[in-house]
Structure 1
Amino acid sequence: MTTLLQRLPQAWRDIGGLDTAEEIAQQPTLWRELAGHLAAERTRLADFLGNSLRNPHQRVILTGAGSSAYVGEIVADELNAAWPCQVRAVATTSLLTHPELYLEADAPTLLVSFARSGSSPESTATVQLLREVVRDVRFLNITCNPSGQLAQQGAQDKSVFNLMMPPASCDRGFAMTSSFTCMLLAALCALSPNVQPQRLEALAQLGEQALRNWSAPVAALAAKPVRRVVYLGSGPLEALAKEAALKILELTGGQVLAMANSALGFRHGPKAALNDETLVVLFRSASPLARRYEQDLLQELQREQIAARCLTVGVDAEIGIDAAVWNDAGAATWHDAWLAPLWLLMAQQYALHQSALLQLRPDNPFAGGTVNRVVQGVTIYRHDDF
């Protein structure tokens, strides 16, 4: 009988984790589906964007809340380096509280919103805020839910482009998994110059190999209880570390504390969190320079033996991709933002298994409703009332 991430599907169903397990495992399939969808939308999206990304005065703000904000943080620098326009990631939770720091009335602005449900109060309020504050503003909604408020409110508006993700990416489980990687790859494909659809096919093949080869060692790693997990990454992978830390914090209901930092930044105080119940996971960069810095930190942690274990994931790592397959895919030329979805497959599985180890229900680890799939309890205040 076929197993799913080291358990039978019925076993996942019995503990309330089948949705999350399936949504982690389906991601390479969805990346292929996304490639076809992006190819079909290419001309319409190009017409919407025009030459705006070549305009040095154009501002592009990548936004979202929680995991969706981390999508923007991972891709922002990659896109900013590719175009003359100004690209930055600013969470909706910052735009709403300090709009004067991020918005300029006379600067042409493209707001790129990442949203799984598209119905969080911050997402819709941020769109309204920019409509009121910025004179020349357009909206690119990268979202998984065609019925969400974000997609619905712009359906007939020429200043809005709704780029929908594959239907199955709108995760049924509590944690964002498929939605995260699909939106990340959609942003890179839609907003990067000269990206060919073959890259998503190559990524899907690498993802399938990762799921086959990593599921057993990751399940074995997660069978050992920990109290703290530290994820580290350089450059765009620091934002990936934030997402990985959030995944285990969410799926363990806060019972496993997690933090994220950069490899170089970790020594500047956060290293104090280490003890003999801590797992350290270092995402290895595609950049040889970054890997040299990362290797120094790794050797330091191994010498000191304060943490229970230090594990590397990524390029030239303990959990990585077979070199022959890596070269065949042409992945040696890819930057970290493109590789982030692969490394996240490890962190998602680890969080899922840790949730099961703690006898929680991974599809809904907060049965009491203290944290919700779509955020609740937010009151929106008008920016011009203060």
Structure 2
Amino acid sequence: MPHLATPTSATHREIRQQPDAWRELRDLLAHRGPALREFLAPLLARDDLRIVLTGAGTSAFIGDIAGEALRRTLRRRVEPLATTDLVADPLGTLAEPLPVLLVSFGRSGNSPESSAATRVAEQVAPEVHHLVITCNAEGRLAREHADAPRSFVLLLPERTNDTGFAMTSSFSTMLLAVLLAFEPGRAGTVDALADAATSLLERSGEVEALLDGEPRRVVYLGSGPLRGLAQESALKLLELTAGRVAAFHDTPLGFRHGPKSVVDDRTLVVVLGSGDPYTARYDADIVAELRQDHPGRVVHLGAQDFPVPGLDDLDDGLRAVALATFAQLLALGASVRLGCTPDNPFPDGSVNRVVRGVRIHELPLP
């Protein structure tokens, strides 16, 4: 039976480079941090500022994770808003007449909605400032904001501009970048995160072995910041298997309200273990319930049955950075076993690395 892709696969290489990429990001922020803090400080001093985290697809899930995490630590309004929602309904999503700090995530920065989101925000909100976090210096998003007076472009290490189909190191490094941008004092956690991810990489055989029962459905469950990671994990599996493995996501509490009906004897459920003692009780409850009532396989990631050393003292936003490695390895293993090409799961071009076919319409304003 085929095993994980060889190191010549870009996807394989980009998953494995993540610990080094995060350390490189830490060094980059040590250099650019003062300028970034100078940009952010006057904005964060404003009580009426609305911080909006935006991106499309996987980049949108960065906002879902970081928004949950940063609200807790900054104690202020921080909200995820996908570019696909912002562009389609700017008058609704930005209806409040408040100044906005729009934090845009983009691996390539060339998705049609990326630039469109920054433009329609300028049309609708009374005042907009832009923090662009991207992996591609030549992308449209980076170029348009490089010299803009109310913009700051944070270019990530060049290696994170993934060339594989699915976002892997670009996702985790952009997530870590935004968490450290708003909480620079937490740069000391990078080694712990890198060590945790390395431990998962060293156990890639264990991760792949979860596919031995040939599950036809995989469910990821997570609460708080890990809810966004559950969604990203499900998408990664769909992308790399070209949709041949059905993937679902939910919260441990929400799963009981109907979605649990997808579980059968060929379903793998992965519960993303929270580091919060209170939230972790709900994780443990759904694990126990599923193991008692259903024949499928249940994995409690980051807990006793699949521990990840080094994460115990980290909040769930940071835990998500490292735990993403598990989902990437599982998706890669499933892709190879099914005979897909991880770097190009859709050779017919029906789904593309950078989305195509999006027509941006002019926004009529009163």
TM-superposed CA distance for 1:111, in Å, is 0.3
* Structure 2 residue aligned with 1:63: 54
* Structure 2 residue aligned with 1:143: 134
* Structure 2 residue aligned with 1:282: 271
> Which residue, 281, 301, 304 being the options, matches 1:313?
301
Equivalences for residues 159-198 of structure 1 within 5 A: 159-192=150-183, 194-198=184-188
The aligned amino acid for 2:28 is: H
TM-superposed CA distance for 1:55, in Å, is 2.2
* Structure 1 residue aligned with 2:349: 369
Q: Is the 8 A contact 2:4 2:333 kept in 1?
A: no
> Following the alignment from structure 1 to structure 2, what is the Cα–Cα distance between the partners of residues 334 and 54?
27
Q: Does 1:208 align with 2:208?
A: no
Q: Does 1:30 align with 2:21?
A: yes
TM-superposed CA distance for 1:6, in Å, is 5.6
TM-superposed CA distance for 1:8, in Å, is 4.7
The aligned amino acid for 1:291 is: A
For residues 151-177 of structure 1, the C-alpha deviation after alignment (integer angstroms, 9 at most, x for no partner) is: 001111121111011101011100000
For residues 268-325 of structure 1, the C-alpha deviation after alignment (integer angstroms, 9 at most, x for no partner) is: 0100111122111111100111111111111111111242x111112x2422224xxx
Q: Is the 8 A contact 1:223 1:357 kept in 2?
A: no
* Structure 1 residue aligned with 2:316: 336
> Following the alignment from structure 1 to structure 2, what is the Cα–Cα distance between the partners of residues 218 and 283?
14
For residues 255-280 of structure 1, the C-alpha deviation after alignment (integer angstroms, 9 at most, x for no partner) is: 00101000000000100111122111
* Structure 2 residue aligned with 1:253: 242
> Following the alignment from structure 1 to structure 2, what is the Cα–Cα distance between the partners of residues 349 and 25?
9
> Following the alignment from structure 1 to structure 2, what is the Cα–Cα distance between the partners of residues 222 and 364?
21
For residues 167-205 of structure 1, the C-alpha deviation after alignment (integer angstroms, 9 at most, x for no partner) is: 01011100000000000000000012x524221122112
Relative distance call for 1:254 and 1:174 in structure 2 (3 A) is: same
> Following the alignment from structure 1 to structure 2, what is the Cα–Cα distance between the partners of residues 197 and 293?
30
Q: Is the 8 A contact 1:115 1:143 kept in 2?
A: yes
Q: Is the 8 A contact 1:63 1:112 kept in 2?
A: yes
> Following the alignment from structure 1 to structure 2, what is the Cα–Cα distance between the partners of residues 104 and 6?
47
Give SS of 1:302's match.
helix
Unaligned runs of 5+ in 1: none
> Which residue, 147, 153, 165 being the options, matches 2:144?
153
> Which residue, 101, 107, 121 being the options, matches 1:110?
101
> Following the alignment from structure 2 to structure 1, what is the Cα–Cα distance between the partners of residues 313 and 225?
16
The aligned amino acid for 1:27 is: Q
TM-score normalised according to structure 2 size: 0.95
Give SS of 1:138's match.
strand
Give SS of 2:152's match.
strand
> Following the alignment from structure 1 to structure 2, what is the Cα–Cα distance between the partners of residues 225 and 145?
37
Q: Is the 8 A contact 2:6 2:12 kept in 1?
A: no
TM-superposed CA distance for 1:342, in Å, is 1.4
Percent same amino acid at aligned positions?
42
> Which residue, 215, 225, 244 being the options, matches 1:226?
215
Unaligned runs of 5+ in 2: none
Q: Is the 8 A contact 1:120 1:375 kept in 2?
A: yes
> Following the alignment from structure 1 to structure 2, what is the Cα–Cα distance between the partners of residues 164 and 96?
24
Q: Is the 8 A contact 1:55 1:85 kept in 2?
A: no
> Following the alignment from structure 1 to structure 2, what is the Cα–Cα distance between the partners of residues 8 and 129?
43
Q: Is the 8 A contact 1:223 1:353 kept in 2?
A: no
Q: Does 1:82 align with 2:73?
A: yes
> Following the alignment from structure 2 to structure 1, what is the Cα–Cα distance between the partners of residues 361 and 177?
32
Number of residue pairs the alignment of both structures matches: 364
Q: Is the 8 A contact 1:32 1:201 kept in 2?
A: yes
The aligned amino acid for 2:252 is: A
Q: Does 1:101 align with 2:92?
A: yes
Give SS of 2:181's match.
helix
> Following the alignment from structure 2 to structure 1, what is the Cα–Cα distance between the partners of residues 111 and 151?
18
* Structure 1 residue aligned with 2:290: 301
Give SS of 1:280's match.
strand
Equivalences for residues 346-365 of structure 1 within 5 A: 346-365=326-345
The aligned amino acid for 2:240 is: L
> Following the alignment from structure 1 to structure 2, what is the Cα–Cα distance between the partners of residues 127 and 206?
35
Give SS of 2:104's match.
strand
> Following the alignment from structure 1 to structure 2, what is the Cα–Cα distance between the partners of residues 122 and 369?
20
> Following the alignment from structure 2 to structure 1, what is the Cα–Cα distance between the partners of residues 74 and 239?
35
